[in-house]
Chain A
Amino acid sequence: MLIKKPDDLKAAEITSKEMYVNRRQFIASALGTGAAFAGFDLADVAQAHALEKLPNVKKGPAAYNTSEKLNSLKDITSYNNFYELGVDKGDPAANAKYLTTKPWSIAVEGEVKKAKTFAIEDIMKLAPLEERIYRLRCVEAWSMVIPWIGFPLSALIKQVEPTNNAKFIQFVTLVDPKRLPGQKPSLFGNSIDWPYVEGLRMDEATHPLTLLTVGLYGEVLPAQNGAPLRLVVPWKYGFKSIKSIVKVRFVEQQPATSWNKMQPQEYGFYSNVNPAVDHPRWTQATERRIGEFLRRDTLPFNGYGEQVASLYKGMDLKKFY
């Protein structure tokens, strides 16, 4: 009988990565189901343990990393706006189990010389992964400090060589009501037209703060935070930072964006954080940092004015909100 020595066996031969990830997802959902019968919801706990550590993550440039106190992983992964997984803040964590992310590919197309569809695994190799500690300011007037992991979107843009006609980029989220149950038609119709779409001007997209994000807190992104690939644009309201991206399209005209289509007088294309322009239904002058009691003042461009204010020189930001 042939008995292999331990070093004859490569880790990958024992269990492939896909296999163990799938197995973990299965266990997580099985645990979740069992727990649901028992009246507990273990799904997010199990899910959190199923996430892979991201190797070789460097610290991002010091100038971009805030030294403010981080929000806990629990806060970041249990208080989410991701309507595709449910409209209540706790829904995305509860429904995270449905959003499987392997395999996953991202089509990059439109006004580019080298249109290409990337597997998520290849996207992750496009540039060294960095940890970026950013403030996130939601349009609902709450905020968090989150250690994202990713690399500048510009690294992806370079790969496909945009043409001179590329003036904007549109981003598109997955549509799949099985994996994103919030997309199932509801009794009152969906107020958001799926897929969720977002967009940036080219200079915003290539700004070094704009992060193509694959992880947080050292691990791959949890589903409720927009796995496996999302955008983080820290000087804009959170809804601009689109989640679970499947398509990146370079276009000449300013693209449609989901919240703007729905309520144009409340949500603009730019949606830069701006304490001087209130949301029609609530103030944007102050915000509640999750974990703090008293509200704090909201900063123009969410405190990134030094880096990004120049992008909007000469624009009336009350008009282009």
Chain B
Amino acid sequence: MVTWLKPVTFVACLLPFAQLLYRAYTNELGANPIETITRFTGSWSLFILLASLAVTPLRRITGWNDLIRLRRMVGLFAFFYATLHFSTYMVLDLYFDFAAIAKDILKRPYITVGFSALILMIPLAVTSTAGMIRRLGKRWQQLHSLVYLIAILGVVHFYWLVKSDITRPAQYGMVLAGLLGYRLYHKWSAAPSRRANRGGAEQESSNLANARRGEKLASRK
């Protein structure tokens, strides 16, 4: 694996956060800083989540298999920004008014779906370690297919909160539809050969486990 790929991705994923800190420090978050932070972290969470879903199609199309090793990190960054997003809402916006937060989550559909997406991300983040991948085996792949639901909930969350101009949620929606559509197409077109190699999902997770083992060996050296 090219050595620079991971650190570069790590820094790239941190850039938005750095930009946010810089804008806060220079007092450039606008008239309503809390709203700015909420939108910023929410948008980046969704963007990075979609980026994590783009890893597999990109890997298949380019044949650059190293890309798969970025997927976990990118996914965890989506969780990082989603956590910042929710914390901004809980701490800065509603200032620990848990009654109001509970009411929002139960009563307001866009918050219900957004909160559900965040909650569903927790088990994925927790089981993202190499040990967990090994331990869960086949079930790991099943569990992590929740990411499709999470992405759909994320886009719906964005779509439902917009007042009138749906351009941006629609853009995210189209990208997501493309990414999901690619998977369906791939699954459908690869079905016969897949049966021959005992299921692609399994294949993928064992690829991943092999990759991880390889990495460990490499780091031991």
Interface segment among A26-34, A281-289, A300-308: the answer is: A281-289
Contact of B31 among A79, A188, A282 (CB under 8 A): A79
B160 within 8 A of A: yes
User: Which of the candidate stretches A82-90, A102-110, A150-158, A169-177 sits at the interface with the other chain?
Assistant: A82-90
Given A74, A89, A186, A283, which contacts B32 in the complex, CB threshold below 8 Å?
A89
- Stretch from B66-74, B79-87, B164-172 forming part of the interface with A: B164-172
Any B CB within 8 A of the CB of A317:
no
Closest partner residue, chain A, to B164 (CB atom): A191
Q: Is the interface of A mostly helix, strand, loop or mixed?
A: loop
Residues of B within 8 A of A83 (CB): 164-165
Cβ contact within 8 Å between A78 and B30: yes
Is there an interface contact between A188 and B166, defined as CB atoms closer than 8 Å? yes
- Bound Cα distance from A140 to B94, whole angstroms: 15
B163 CB contacts on chain A under 8 angstroms:
140
Residues of A within 8 A of B93 (CB): 288, 295
- By secondary structure, the B interface counts as helix
Chain A residues whose C-beta falls within 8 Å of the C-beta of B100 in the assembled complex:
283, 286
Cα separation A140 to B164 with both chains bound (whole Å): 13
| B115 surroundings in chain A (CB, below 8 A) | none
**Residues in A whose Cβ lies below 8 Å from that of B32:** 79, 89, 142, 288, 290
Please tell me if the beta carbons of B31 and A78 are within 8 angstroms of each other in the complex. yes
Asked if A38 is at the interface of the complex by the 8 Å CB criterion, the answer is no
Of B30, B92, B165, which contacts A89 at CB under 8 A? B30
**A87 near B165: Cβ-Cβ < 8 Å:** yes
Can you give 16 contacting A-B residue pairs, CB < 8 Å? A78-B30, A79-B32, A87-B164, A142-B32, A187-B167, A191-B165, A262-B164, A281-B109, A282-B104, A286-B100, A288-B32, A290-B32, A291-B31, A295-B93, A295-B94, A295-B95
B binding-site residues for A, Cβ under 8 Å: 30-32, 34-35, 92-95, 100, 103-104, 108-110, 160-161, 163-167, 170
The 10 closest A-B pairs by CB, nearest first: A79-B31, A75-B31, A191-B164, A87-B165, A290-B31, A188-B170, A281-B108, A188-B167, A188-B166, A290-B32
